[in-house]
Amino acid sequence: MRKLFFVNILVLVSSFSFSQNIIGNWSGNISVNGNQIPIVFHFYNDSLGKVHGKWDSPSQNAKNLPCSEIDAIDDSITIGLKIISGFYKGKFITKDSIAGLWHQGNGQLALNISKTNGSTFEPPKRPQTPKPPFNYLSEDVVYSNADNSMKYGATFTKPKGPLNKKYPTVLLITGSGKQDRDENIFEHKPFAVIADYLTKRGIAVLRVDDRGMGETTGNFDTSSSADFANDVEAGIKYLESRKDVNVKRIGLIGHSEGGMIAPMVAARDKDVSFIVLLAGTGVPGSVINDYQNSLPMQSAGMSEVLIQKFLDLHRAIVNAAISYVNVGDYKNEVSKIYYDWKKKQSPETLKALIHGTDEEAIASFQSRYILFHSKWWKFFLTHDPAKDLEKLSIPVLALNGSKDIQVDPKINLPAIESALKKSKSKNYKTIELPGLNHLFQHCRKCTIGEYGELEETFAPEALKVMGDWIEDVVK
């Protein structure tokens, strides 16, 4: 989920005067305390001619990390590094050299990069991505919401068949972060793969650009899951306007945050006849956030006692960020929370959890936690998806990968099942698929960083389970 999941990995490119020369490999060094840290950028064209980028930090054994944005005006270039909450901003000095600054956190460091010899970066293999010609109909569409305040860009696919045939249809809902209709992440296109598979099985599919992405208007950064739920309802109304859609067989498939949004919509919109939750949540976002913050500490071998002591501080600062009225009050409250917490800790605990001076620790918490004041975070942390699930009376399928480290199946699947037991739904199923990660890939290391290293986009068995179940409920 944003913030939860990685996301917005689609690269946006503006044309600029040096664009014809950007393709290739560029490298330079960041100097940190006298140490040289090499950074390597790889820019390349995809099959449609769009420019994409990856970057490496070889000394830290980090490879093929996504450039979340490539934007340029005249001789200036900005490269988004969302995975580290940073960016690189530079200017072309010559056609083969760029001088700029690496921005990360509150700091910035000089980084000058030069084009290097050798072959250009080879795009990662994505064998499951569907390629035309398709043996079904694919139509790019644009539609609006009821008051015409939003325009949505989407792709509608349906089987080839009689002109008057009405098809059962699913609308796909992306995970957190601003994503395109294919849910493009590390150049995997899971929604394109799902649409291709289901359409070949006789099910029409609508996949939609998020707010502020592609052909869809609106401001993503000032929106929450509640706003995205309204977008889904606009998609349902659009589907109901089509003569080739069976309006009694419209379902939703939501991945990650989309798996939280699907029950929100289905609980109030009686036109939804079934939902599929792919790594959806069954517990409040605050529980998910605790889990995601504790996991790295568990991996580092920290004791459960230490982790809980950190989470006590973490939760208190998150609550301060959610509720503050002005920034000054927020900063004062964080300082007070920190010192109150510190008084209760042993020297051993402080040594393990706090690095640097008190002032440095407080400043770090103040700058990092202020993001929780956003509309998205406020909604996510306080929303309880179980309440929506309890209101359902339609078929529900919930799938999770056993190796998902973002939405833990051991926490969420039982919570989803418990909520559905209280609902009026007579047809629901929760399945943990062995060996699959959050993106439903077979994984080896099963880390977030591995998503882009894997060639598989979406496990065939996950597609089959989903396809078989949908076929059964739309009979």
pLDDT digits (tens, 9 = 90+) for 348-357: 999 999 988 9
> Which range marks the domain in which residue 69 is found?
19-115
Q: Write the DSSP assignment of 157-208 as a string of letters.
A: EEES--TT--EEEEEEE--SSS--TT--BTTB-HHHHHHHHHHHTT-EEEEE
**Same domain (yes/no): 195, 65:** no
Given this model, what pLDDT does residue 61 score?
Answer: 60
**Same domain (yes/no): 250, 398:** yes
Given this model, what pLDDT does residue 14 score?
Answer: 30
CB count in 10 Å sphere of residue 433 = 18
**Same domain (yes/no): 375, 399:** no
Given this model, what pLDDT does residue 121 score?
Answer: 54
Given this model, what pLDDT does residue 13 score?
Answer: 28
Give 62 or 306, the one with higher predicted confidence. Answer: 306
- Cα–Cα distance measured from residue 298 to residue 310, given in angstroms and rounded to the nearest whole number: 12
Given this model, what pLDDT does residue 1 score?
Answer: 43
Given this model, what pLDDT does residue 33 score?
Answer: 59
The yes-or-no verdict on residue 11 having pLDDT over 70 is: no
User: What SS3 state is found at 39?
Assistant: strand
- Cα–Cα distance measured from residue 46 to residue 123, given in angstroms and rounded to the nearest whole number: 7
The yes-or-no verdict on residue 7 having pLDDT over 50 is: no
CA 135 to chain centre: 30
The yes-or-no verdict on residue 4 having pLDDT over 50 is: no
Give tens-digit pLDDT for 128-154: 999 999 999 999 999 999 999 999 999
The percent of residues in the chain predicted with pLDDT above 70, rounded, is: 93
**Same domain (yes/no): 37, 185:** no
Q: What is the CATH number of the domain that holds 59?
A: 2.40.128
**Same domain (yes/no): 154, 250:** yes
Given this model, what pLDDT does residue 65 score?
Answer: 86
Give 57 or 358, the one with higher predicted confidence. Answer: 358
CB count in 10 Å sphere of residue 270 = 9
**Same domain (yes/no): 257, 172:** yes
**Same domain (yes/no): 300, 440:** no
Strand partners, 436: 442
- Cα–Cα distance measured from residue 452 to residue 275, given in angstroms and rounded to the nearest whole number: 28
Mean pLDDT of the chain: 89
Show Cβ contacts of residue 3 under 8 Å, excluding neighbours closer than 6 positions.
176, 177, 371, 376, 377, 380
Mean pLDDT value of segment 315-330: 90
Q: Look at residue 122 and tell me if it is in a domain.
A: no
State pTM to two decimals. 0.78
Q: Look at residue 452 and tell me if it is in a domain.
A: yes
Given this model, what pLDDT does residue 5 score?
Answer: 30
Q: Look at residue 207 and tell me if it is in a domain.
A: yes
Handedness of CA 338, 284, 68, 44 (dihedral sign): positive
Report the range out of 281-290, 318-327, 445-454 with the highest average pLDDT: 281-290
- Cα–Cα distance measured from residue 407 to residue 258, given in angstroms and rounded to the nearest whole number: 12
Given this model, what pLDDT does residue 15 score?
Answer: 32
**In degrees, to the nearest 5, what angle opens at C-alpha 82 toward C-alphas 80 and 85?**
110
**Same domain (yes/no): 406, 330:** no
Give long-range contacts, CB 8 A cutoff, 24+ apart: 105-111: 105/367, 105/368, 106/363, 106/367, 109/30, 109/31, 109/32, 110/30, 110/31, 111/28, 111/29, 111/30, 111/39
Q: Look at residue 9 and tell me if it is in a domain.
A: no
**378 close to 322: Cβ distance less than 8 angstroms:** yes
- Is-cis flag, bond preceding 127, omega within 30? no
**Same domain (yes/no): 333, 409:** no
The model's confidence at residue 277, banded by pLDDT at 50, 70 and 90, is very high
Report the range out of 90-99, 449-458, 460-469 with the highest average pLDDT: 460-469
At 282, list the tokens: 């069954």
Strands 274-278 and 396-401, sheet pairing: parallel
Given this model, what pLDDT does residue 94 score?
Answer: 86
Given this model, what pLDDT does residue 8 score?
Answer: 26
**Same domain (yes/no): 86, 38:** yes
Q: Look at residue 411 and tell me if it is in a domain.
A: yes
Q: Look at residue 120 and tell me if it is in a domain.
A: no
Give tens-digit pLDDT for 103-119: 886 678 899 998 887 54
**Same domain (yes/no): 220, 322:** no
**Same domain (yes/no): 186, 289:** no
The model's confidence at residue 17, banded by pLDDT at 50, 70 and 90, is very low
For residue 119, CA distances in Å to 23, 25, 70, 237 come to 10, 8, 21, 49
User: What SS3 state is found at 344?
Assistant: coil
Q: Look at residue 214 and tell me if it is in a domain.
A: yes
CB count in 10 Å sphere of residue 368 = 14
The yes-or-no verdict on residue 335 having pLDDT over 90 is: yes
Q: What is the CATH number of the domain that holds 150?
A: 3.40.50.1820
Say which DSSP state 370 is in. G
Mean pLDDT value of segment 233-262: 98
What are the φ/ψ torsions at residue 90 (nearest 5 degrees)?
A: -145, 175
Final residue before a domain boundary, out of 357, 380, 403: 380
Q: Look at residue 140 and tell me if it is in a domain.
A: yes
Final residue before a domain boundary, out of 82, 115, 148: 115
The model's confidence at residue 45, banded by pLDDT at 50, 70 and 90, is confident
User: What SS3 state is found at 264?
Assistant: helix
What is the tally of structural domains in the chain? 3
Q: Which of 136, 157, 168 is nearest to 245 (CA)?
A: 168
Final residue before a domain boundary, out of 380, 411, 443: 380
Say which DSSP state 209 is in. P
